[in-house]
Chain A
Amino acid sequence: MTLSRAEVDHVATLARLGLSDAEKDRLLGELEAILDHIERLQRVDTSTLAETAQVGDLVNVLRADVPEAPIGAAAALRNAPATDGSYFVVGAIQGTELDA
């Protein structure tokens, strides 16, 4: 299993992690070692196994359509790094997105 530096760049972008070159180099080695270890998973014959997304046998867990009081804008905004009136604020969204 070899991971390329380009893949590390791609995954960091997908995950929106701003990493330094040194961090990427280190992660490349660490992730490779982990992926090498995990490789043993491929040897398991899973042809007859169903996928487990969650344990337990719960199904149809539904809520009645009854509205409850919201917490309101003041409480919603209390932890925000930047606000304008009763809005959250973010900086410029560039025309092209980063999802390479």
Chain B
Amino acid sequence: MTETATIAAALDRYEVVIGLEVHAQLLTRSKMFCPCPADYTSAAPNANTCPVCLGLPGVLPTINQEAVDFTVRTALALHCDIPPFTKFDRKNYFYPDLPKGYQISQYDLPLSVSGHLEFPVGGDAVRCGITRVHLEEDTGTMHHAGDVLQSATSSLIDLNRCGVPLMEIVGEPDLRTPEAAREYLVRLRQILTYIGVNDGNLEKGSFRCDANISLRPRGAQELGVKVEVKNMNSFRAVQRALESEIERQTEVLDAGGTLVQETRGWVEAQGRTISQRSKEQAHDYRYFPEPDLPPLRLDAAFVERVRATLPELPEARAHRFQQQYGLTAYDAAVLTDTRDEADTYEALVAARVPAKLAANWQSGDVAALANEHHVPLQHSGLGIDGLASLLRLVDAGTINGPTAKELLAELYVSGGNPEGLVRDRGLAQVSDTAELSALVDAAITANPAAAADFRAGKQRALGQLMRAVKEATGGKADMPLVNRLLRERLLEQ
């Protein structure tokens, strides 16, 4: 059986229950509990550290206000409740990437609870509950000699990442397929990047995901044994890891075996999960309230102030694009995929580019150029204003489509003023009826066979005549007008 068929067969017999935990680094300028720069990737190892994030004796944490705001903004985007009282707790465990021997996190009174996320999976709307969104600090990073933890004789520790604000988003076990799990993550990442709190980079680990998965026979009430899966650093890896876990668990259950509650790691190269830690080895984190930080009381005024910073979310924006600009659902989704994309679109429309025209160009040629050059429009030579003036020339009939395409490709890289170039190079479209009629007549005279073929009913023969007129104008002819004039002249004779 193919993998897909195996999964489908498994899903016939077992209900799969999946819950996801996402850790997302916040895009603050400084760290969570100290003022060190939060940018940990560009500095030399341990360069972005201070006594606080090094966990030296005697230091104390201070709470980054922006991190609190960002977490509340996220919670509001996920329809969470913001309780009036919240606090930080210590989660105690020993590991070399955790200098204090405890992580400042949140335990029983998180910043937010009881939200949800809605997204489509294969045409159906899926709604997944959000248990909580809380705030904590990231750990440092470790490099193992030989890069294999188990056989390494020593490990190198870099604490630049230590203390970067980290948001934990715990989803309810409402997901039923690996595909739904993937779509949940795609939509969640879209929202986080939209609201400007996270850069959504799975590979670099600024957006990380762990999954809990269990299987139970269809119709059973009781939940199956839960397995936690870690080490998945792409959307594809999440889906594959969960599929592999479904296969593995199905085999065990089908053979009459029982599963053990454990943590398993996804090994990309082997395409399977391997056991990391059993429940018997589970941590006893000894959570208790962080005595170094007074609690937070977030009143309604605070929540409303943060709510006011919340941009229109992608789903709502796509809906509005359909209503306001008459776009198809597909176009609206494409143009609202990222906040930059949607902002660009609305900037074009605001710059008097017709909605449909802007949509076609932005999602077509402009997207292709951005992809080719790895430069988004706003950072290209042309810029949003340049594109708007180019498209206004198209809309006004000043230049034709092919000319616009060529100019776009050139200006995207080199930059320049489209109106000036059209004027200087004489690229304006020839749409004078009298001038074109003369050229049409000349073309018919010069190509009698094609004219005869067309009159005999061969539509394709018109192409040769169109090309003749186009060439005569140096490519600048208003081709729809040429088409009309040719037909009129050929059929009247």
Contacts and interface: CB of A to CB of B under 8 A. Distances in A.
A55 to B, nearest CB: 10
9 tightest A-B CB contacts, nearest first: A65-B66, A87-B156, A53-B289, A62-B65, A58-B294, A68-B35, A88-B157, A73-B46, A67-B30
B309 to A, nearest CB: 14
Contact of B64 (A14, A62, A84): A62
A34 interface: no
A60 B277 contact: no
B77 interface: no
Given A63-B30, A67-B37, 13 more contacts: A59-B296, A60-B294, A62-B63, A63-B63, A68-B30, A70-B48, A71-B49, A77-B46, A85-B45, A86-B45, A87-B157, A97-B277, A100-B281
Contacts of B36: 67-68, 70
Interface of B: 28-30, 35-38, 44-51, 54, 62-68, 87, 93-94, 96, 142-144, 149-150, 152-159, 277, 280-284, 286, 288-289, 291, 293-298
A56 interface: yes
A67 B144 CA distance: 30
B354 to A, nearest CB: 41
A94 B96 CA distance: 12
A85 B49 CA distance: 16
Interface residues of A, number: 38
Given A71-B51, A89-B155, A66 B282 contact: no
B404 to A, nearest CB: 44
B29 A61 contact: no
Given A59-B294, A88-B96, A76 B284 contact: no
17 contacts: A14-B284, A59-B296, A62-B68, A63-B64, A64-B65, A65-B29, A66-B30, A67-B36, A70-B36, A71-B51, A73-B49, A85-B156, A87-B158, A88-B156, A89-B156, A91-B153, A99-B93
Nearest to A86: B45
A40 interface: no
B29 A67 contact: yes
A93 B297 CA distance: 41
Contact of A76 (B46, B62, B156): B46
Interface of A: 14, 16, 53-54, 56, 58-68, 70-73, 76-77, 84-97, 99-100
Contacts of A84: 154, 156
A90 B283 CA distance: 21
B293 A61 contact: yes
Nearest to A63: B62
A14 B45 contact: no
Contact of B44 (A14, A63, A71, A86): A86
> Dominant SS at the A interface?
loop
A54 B291 contact: yes
Nearest to A60: B296
A58 B144 CA distance: 43
Contacts of A14: 284, 286
B29 A60 contact: no
A28 B83 CA distance: 43
Contacts of A60: 294, 296-298
Given A14-B286, A85-B45, A87-B45, A93 B291 contact: no
A54 B51 contact: no
B102 to A, nearest CB: 12
A60 B154 CA distance: 42
Contacts of A91: 153-155
Given A61-B63, A62-B63, A99 B282 contact: yes
Contacts of A93: 96, 142, 144, 149, 152, 155
A67 to B, nearest CB: 4
A62 to B, nearest CB: 4
Contacts of A95: 149-150
Contacts of B295: 59
A59 B30 contact: no
A92 B153 contact: yes
B85 to A, nearest CB: 9
A50 to B, nearest CB: 12
Contact of A70 (B37, B68, B281, B288): B37
Contacts of A68: 30, 35-36, 50
B65 A59 contact: no
Given A59-B294, A67-B37, A87 B50 contact: no
Nearest to B94: A16
